[in-house]
Amino acid sequence: MKGYKNCIIKVDLSSGNIKKEHLNADYIKRYLGGEGYGIALLWNHMPLDADPLSPENLLSFNTGPMTGTPAPSASRTSVCFMSPLTNTIGASNMGSHFGAELKFAGYDTVAFTGKAEKPVYLLIDNEKVEIKDASSLWGMDTRETTEAIKEAEGHDIKVCCIGQSGEKLSSLACIFSDDCFAGRGGAGAVMGSKNLKAVAVRGNGKVEIADTDAFKIAFKNSIRELREEAYTWGPVHGYGTPAWVGGADDFGILPTRNYINNKFEEIEKVLPYNLWNNTDKYKMTRRTCYACQLGCHKYVVMGDVEVGEMEYESLAAFGPRCGVSDYESICMAGYYTTIYGIDSISGGSTISAIMEWYEKGIITKEQTDGLEMNFGNGPAMVEMLRKMCLREGCGDLYADGSFAAAKKIGGKAMDYVMAVKGMEISATDPRGSSSMTISFGTSERGACHMRPYAATIDAFGYLYPDLDITEPKDPFSDTEDKSWLKALKECFVVTNLAGICDFNVINTEMKPSTMAELYTAITGVEIDKYELLRTAERTIALERAINYIRGFRRKDDRLPKRFMTEPATGGPPAGRVTDMEAALDKYYEACSYDKETAVPTLEKYQELGMMHIAEKVYNLIKQDA
C-alpha cells in the first residue's frame, strides 16, 4: 500500500537490540496510522498497568499515511506513551520536519522500550539505525542539543530531543523539534526516564503516491477549502495564532487569573500588535512545518533573546491566565519553556494555580523561595518557571504540574487546580462553550482543547455540512443533542491518524470527504469519509478501554468545580455556569458509552469489531461490580 513505508523500528534501550519489522496490517486497517498505531502498540505490547516512568512504558513516534506527502500540513508525528502527568494514555502531536524525514528514511514508526544504561540518542540515517552515546549532550538545553547533533551528524539531519526538564523527569516536559513541540502529557519525561536524549533522522527517499492524478484533484480541492475560510486565512495566516487573544477576550472565553475571570482588563497591553509594532525591541519571522500552507508559527526574537514560537496558548497561559500584561515577561517565559522543554499550557496554568494559592494563603513565601507570587507579577512568574523547569529550590514542588503539587500541599489547594485527569486546561473558558465542557472533560489524554476544538461550532456559529452539522448550536445549552460533537471529535482525531495538522479542520475548513479523497489517492485503497471517521472512533474506543483499565471512570471526565459553581464574570457568557452532568449524559448517549463506566457499550464495541478489546474491559467491569 502506498503512503505507508510498511516499516517500524523497534528499539529495546535496555539490551540495545534494534529490530525492523513490517507494520501490523490489522492495526492499519482498524486505526489507520499515527496516533491510532501508537495506541494499538500500547494495548498490544506493554503491560497496561505499567508505571509511565518505568522501562516498561512504550514510547513511539508515529507518522500517518499522509505524512511526508504534499498534502496540506502533512508534517505530523503522533508521540504515544503512558502519561506521567495524567496516568492515562499519552498522545502528543507535533509538526516540524521530523515526521516527513522519518518517512523519507523509510519508516512509519519508531518505538522504544526499556532504559539505556547511560544517555543515548538514536541515529536513523536512511537504512542505518544505531544507538549513540549522548553523555556529552546530557545537561544541554533543546537548542544546544539540536546544534550539537547537527554538528556531529550533518546539518541536514532532523532532530527531536528533550531539554533539562525531560532529564529531570518533570511531568510537564515536552519533546522539542525545530521549535515545534510534542507538548502535552509529559512525553519528555518518558524520554528522560529511558535516558533517551534525542532521535535524529536523515532520509533521502520519498513517499510514493498511488494515483497522482487523483491526488492533484483532491489537493486542489483541499487548498480551495482552506483558503475559503476567512479567519484562518486572515488573521492567523497573517499574524499567527496570537491574533485570537483579542477575540477570545471580546467573547468572554479568555481564562484570566486561573479562570477566576473570563475577560482581562489589561487586554490592550497583550494584543499581539504591541509585539509586532515594537520593531525596535522585537523581530518577527514566519516559520512553517513541512508542507504547511498556513504558516501559523511566528518566531520572535527579543533583543538578544531568541524567544522562539509565540502562539496563542503560550501567550494566554503566561499573560492573562497569570494576570501578567508585560510582554517582556511573557516572552521570557516562552523562552524558558522552549529551551528547557516544558509544555507552556501546563507551565502557565501551574503558575496561575501557584498565584491563587499564594493570594489565598494556602502557600506562603516559604514555598515560593521568597517570591511574591501575586497575580500580575511577571518577573516572579518567570523566575518561578525557571525554578520549575530545573527543579531548583521550591520549583521541585511544582515541576510535575498543579495537580501533583496540590496533592503534596494538601488543604484546599486542589480546589484551585484547573485540570482534568491531572492535565491543566488550556485557553478557552468552557462557561462560554458547552461543547468545550465536553472536549476538556472527556478528552482521553486529559484536558485537551483539540479533541475537538468545538467552540468553533457552538460559540462562533460555524457550520460543517460535510459532517452533517447544518444547524447552529447553542453554546449555553448542556442538554442539547451532542451527536455533532462526536462526529467533530472523530474528524479532529482523523488528522492525528493521517498525519496532517488539525488546523486543517479547526474552523471547519477541509471536508472529511476531501480527507478521504486524499487518503484514497495516496494509498490506492478506497475509503469514504464514514470509514475514515470510524478509524478515529475505534482509536478513541481503544483509548477509553486503556484508561478504564488504568482506573479512569465517569468522575474523571468532570471539570473542576469552579466551572459549575462560579459564574463567568463578563462578556457574552456573564453569569453562566456549566451543568457538567447533563452535558456528560448527552455526550455519552451520542457516543453509545455506558453512563456509569464511561466506556463504549458492548454493542458499540461489537459494531466497531472490537470485541477482543471489550472482553478485557467488561471482565474488569464485572469484577468491579
Partner 1 sequence: MKVKVRLTGLLAASCGFREKTVELPNDFTIAEAITFMNIPVSGVWTKSSVNGSLKNKSYVLQEGDELYLFPIGGGG
344 binds partner 1 (CB under 8 A): no
Q: Is position 252 an interface residue for partner 1 (rule: CB under 8 A)?
A: yes
- Scanning 32-40, 88-96, 330-338, 445-453 for contacts with partner 1 by CB under 8 A, the matching segment is 445-453
**Binding partner 1 by CB under 8 A: which of 248, 291, 333, 545?**
248
Does position 348 interact with partner 1 (CB under 8 A)? The reply is no
- Decide whether 108 or 458 has the Cβ nearer to partner 1: 458
Checking DSSP bridges between strand 17-21 and strand 59-63, what pairing results, if any? unpaired
CA atoms lying within 13 Å on the CB side of residue 317: 26
Nearest to 337 by CA among 364, 305, 369: 305
390/175 Cα distance (integer angstroms): 16
Q: Identify which of residues 38 and 571 has a Cβ nearer to partner 1 in the complex.
A: 571
Secondary structure of residue 51 in the 3-state scheme: coil
Site size for partner 1 (CB under 8 A) = 43
425 binds partner 1 per the rule CB under 8 A: no
* C-beta of 428 vs 535, nearer to partner 1: 428
Query: Residue 152: in which H helix or E strand, if any?
Result: helix 142-153
Residue numbers 488-507 binding partner 1 by CB under 8 A: 506-507
- The yes or no reply on residue 458 touching partner 1 (CB under 8 A) is yes
- Say whether residue 81 binds partner 1 (CB under 8 A): no
Q: Could you tell me which stretch among 66-74, 116-124, 232-240, 360-368 binds partner 1 (CB under 8 A)?
A: 232-240
Rg from Cα positions in the chain: 22
Considering only 192-200, 250-258, 407-415, 546-554, which stretch makes contact with partner 1 by CB under 8 A?
A: 250-258
Cell digits for 385? 518557571
Three-state SS across 505-562?
CCCCCCCHHHHHHHHHHHHCCCCCHHHHHHHHHHHHHHHHHHHHHCCCCHHHHCCCCH
- Count the neighbouring beta carbons within 10 Å of the beta carbon of residue 360: 13
CB of 53 to partner 1, least distance (A): 30
Task: State whether residue 128 is helix, strand or coil.
Answer: strand
Q: Which residue among 16, 47, 154, 234 contacts partner 1 (CB under 8 A)?
A: 234
Query: Would you count residue 424 as binding partner 1 (CB under 8 A)?
Result: no
Q: Quick one: 164 or 456, whose CB is closer to partner 1? A: 456
474 contributes a contact to partner 1 by CB under 8 A: yes
| 427 is a site residue for partner 1 (CB under 8 A) | yes
| Binding of residue 432 to partner 1 (CB under 8 A) | yes
455 binds partner 1 (CB under 8 A): yes
Q: Which stretch binds partner 1 (CB under 8 A): 80-88, 198-206, 225-233, 321-329?
A: 225-233
Considering beta carbons, is residue 316 or 414 the nearer one to partner 1? 316
Q: Identify the three-state secondary structure at position 286.
A: strand
Nearest C-alpha neighbor of 207 from the set 505, 500, 11: 500
Closest contact distance (angstroms) between CB of 349 and partner 1 is: 15
Question: What does the alpha-carbon distance between residue 254 and residue 246 come to, in Å, rounded to a whole number?
Answer: 9
User: Buried b / exposed e across 173-207, counting CB within 10 Å, b at 16+?
Assistant: bbbbbbbbbbbbbbbbbbbbbbbbbbbbbbbeeeb
Q: What is the DSSP letter of 285?
A: E
Residue 179, CB-side half-sphere exposure with 13 Å CA sphere = 19
Cβ of residue 460: shortest distance to partner 1, in angstroms? 4
- Residue 525 binds partner 1, judged by CB under 8 A: no
Pairing outcome for strands 120-125 and 158-161: unpaired
Q: Is 236 in the site for partner 1 (CB under 8 A)?
A: yes
Decide if residue 605 touches partner 1 (CB under 8 A): no
Of 188, 187, 136, give the one whose Cα is nearest residue 166. Answer: 188
CA–CA gap between residue 350 and residue 368 (Å, rounded): 13
Residue 381's nearest CA partner among 416, 414, 356, 407 is 356
Bridge partners, residue 60, by sequence? 80, 111
The reply to whether 428 sits near partner 1 by the rule CB under 8 A is: yes
When asked if residue 173 is in the footprint of partner 1 (CB under 8 A), the reply is: no
Which candidate, 257, 184, 77, places its Cα nearest to that of 421?
184
**Residue 474 CB, nearest distance to partner 1 (Å)?**
6
| Strand 120-125 versus strand 196-202 pairing type | parallel
Residue placing its CB nearer to partner 1 in the complex, 166 or 432: 432
AA letter at 186: G
Site residues for partner 1, 372-391, by CB under 8 A, read: none
Q: Which of 218, 362, 363, 450 binds partner 1 (CB under 8 A)?
A: 450
* C-alpha cell recorded at residue 211: 494515483
User: Could you say which of 181, 251, 340, 464 contacts partner 1 (CB under 8 A)?
Assistant: 251
Residues 302-331 that bind partner 1 (CB under 8 A): 311-313
Nearer of residues 4 and 244 to partner 1, judged by Cβ: 244
* Binding residue for partner 1, selected from 119, 323, 571, 600, defined by CB under 8 A: 571
Binds partner 1 by CB under 8 A, chosen from 272, 475, 499, 560? 475
Question: Which of positions 572-601 make contact with partner 1 (CB under 8 A)?
Answer: 572-574
Q: How far apart are CA 80 and CA 93, in angstroms?
A: 9
In 3D, which of 306, 308, 303 has the Cα closest to residue 174?
A: 308
For the bound state, the minimum distance from the C-beta of residue 305 to partner 1, rounded and expressed in Å, comes to 22
Nine-digit cell string for 433: 462553550
In whole angstroms, how close is the CB of 491 to partner 1 at the nearest point?
Answer: 14
Q: Where along the sequence are the contacts to partner 1 (CB under 8 A)?
A: 230-232, 234, 236, 241-242, 244, 246-248, 250-253, 296, 311-313, 427-428, 432-433, 449-450, 453, 455-456, 458-461, 472, 474-476, 506-507, 570-574
